[in-house]
Amino acid sequence: MVQRLGIRKHKNILKTTLNREPLKPLNREPDNFFMEQAKDDIIIYGGSFDPPHKGHTALLCAALREIKPRRIYVVPAFQSPFKDAAPVSFLNRFNMLKLSLGAVRPIRTTRASRFEGQKKRVTYTFETIKHFRRLHPGAKIYFLLGSDCLAGFWRWKNRRGILKNAVLLVGARRGFPFKNYSNLPGSAVRRVPFRRLKGFFPEISSTSLRVGLLTGVDSRFIAAPVKRYIRQKKLYFSKERRFLKQLLTPARYVHSLSVARLAAELAALHGESPQRAALAGLLHDAARDFGEVRLMRYAVSKKLKIPCFARTAAPILLHSYASAEVARGRFGVRDKTVLRAIALHTSGAARMDTLSKIIYVADLASEDRKFSQAKKIARLARRDLDEAFLAANYVKLKYAAKRQAVVGGKSSGRRLQATGSDSM
């Protein structure tokens, strides 16, 4: 009787539970599906994944082999650090990540998480770890990162909270050996406990890959399904490049790509955003092939504020201001620094910011330029941007004087600034 009552009671409880919480199909598991059962190891791997590349998957595969976790959560950040120019949305980065995870085995162990995307704000690592700690109270949590990121660990928020809830699992990236970190300020990395993954991992720079994508360079470090997705969704300025191709002559299009590449490289060296520099470089000559009459009409119809010398003596110089307007109106660029750099790339100005100088120099010294000083100025710009800027001014002035072209901007005044010759 007691037993029979017990069975009936148990059946009722089971029935009620099933009615309240219907089981969801496995392929739609929420993050907390394993909450009750989790006792084994889990790994969390965060990043912006902009774009996800083979360096990420190599690290994931090694962690899977060595730790054999119950689950790996790959957590893309909501906000890409390159939010200033044509950012790739969370959804697109999330979808690319899912495609790249197709190469990680076993597939069911790895899960792309929307946790930070759902927050719609900057989420710190300690918050993400806390979230997964709540989902897996009994699990040992590893936080996976490359040795390049470990170098900056002393700057992370709530390091104590991170280390309380998780073990850092570090893959050594070439170029970032652990021994170099002992001279870091604050709590030196050698005092931060971490577990090292066996072997070394390739140092693939997301920034270089991104700049490559922006300027149409193919990369073997990006998986084929991710490349297809990028093409389909027209990410990384592919839409802009297609439009530019129609707008410019083939030679000018090649020149624009070259300027974008050099500008992005210089930006990375001189503390500017490579993405903004690539965008400015790509669009700097967007209106260059309009021709003088069309340029004049365009400037009037758009009420462009342009210097007097350009309007009267050298209408072709209007193209830099017109290109800035095309970038704003046709491509939706709202970044004033980018627009200013485009507008000033021919005539310069009295006080130019770093990005404007970069575009000015890159326009003169891009690899498609055939004159002898171009290579020297490009080399100089990698070392000293200001010196390269002055050298570029000098070359332009000489060129303008030789051709009796107009010298614009402030160059004819007290201080040498820039010339208005842009046939180069």
Contacts of 33 (CB under 8 A, 6+ apart): 24
Written as one letter, the residue type at 78 is F
Please, what is the minimum distance in Å from the beta carbon of residue 277 to Fe ion? 14
Q: How far is the CB of 132 from Fe ion (least distance, A)?
A: 50
Minimum CB distance to Fe ion, residue 345 (Å) = 6
Region of 175 (left: φ > 0; alpha: ψ -120 to 50; beta: rest) is left
187 phi and psi angles, rounded to 5 deg: -75, 105
Interaction residues for Fe ion, span 243-302 (CB under 5 A) = 285
Write out the two tokens for 320. Answer: 């830099």
- By beta-carbon proximity to Fe ion, the closer residue of 240 and 285 is 285
Closest by Cα among 286, 314, 280 to 423: 314
Closer residue to Fe ion in complex, CB, 226/263: 263
Compare residues 156 and 371 and give the one whose CB is closer to Fe ion: 371
How many residues in the shown chain lie near Fe ion by CB under 5 A? Answer: 3
**Minimum Å distance from CB 288 to Fe ion?**
5
- Beta carbon of residue 285, minimum distance to Fe ion (angstroms, whole number): 4
Query: Contact between 325 and Fe ion (CB under 5 A)?
Result: no
Other Cβ atoms within 10 Å of 118 Cβ, number: 12
Nearer to Fe ion, 203 or 368 (CB): 368
If the CB atoms of residues 41 and 363 are measured against Fe ion, the closer one turns out to be 363
**Long-range residue pairs from 325-332, CB within 8 A, at least 24 positions apart, any chain:** 325/287, 325/298, 326/247, 326/283, 326/286, 326/287, 327/279, 327/283, 327/286, 329/302, 330/243, 330/286, 331/240, 331/243, 331/283, 331/286
Q: Which of residues 90-119 bind Fe ion (CB under 5 A)?
A: none
The C-alpha atoms of residue 135 and residue 6 are separated, in whole angstroms, by 32
Instruction: Please state the closest distance from residue 319 (CB atom) to Fe ion, in A.
Output: 6
| 340-369 footprint of Fe ion as x/- string (CB under 5 A) | -----------------------x------
Interface of this chain with Fe ion, residues 50 to 79, rule: CB under 5 A? none
Closest contact distance (angstroms) between CB of 303 and Fe ion is: 21
Please list, residue by residue across 266-297, b when 16 or more beta carbons sit within 10 angstroms of its beta carbon and e when fewer do. Answer: bbbebebbbbbbbbbbbbbbbbbebeeeebbe
Q: Restricting to residues 211-230, which ones interact with Fe ion according to CB under 5 A? A: none
Nearest residue to 398 via CA among 376, 373, 378, 367: 373
Of residues 123 and 356, the one with the C-beta less far from Fe ion: 356
Q: Which is nearer to Fe ion, 119 or 252 (CB)?
A: 252
Residue 272 vs 363, nearer CB to Fe ion:
363
Q: How far is the CB of 306 from Fe ion (least distance, A)?
A: 14
Question: Which phi-psi region, left, alpha or beta, contains residue 413 (left: φ > 0; alpha: ψ -120 to 50)?
Answer: beta
Give contact residues for Fe ion (rule: CB under 5 A). 285, 363, 422
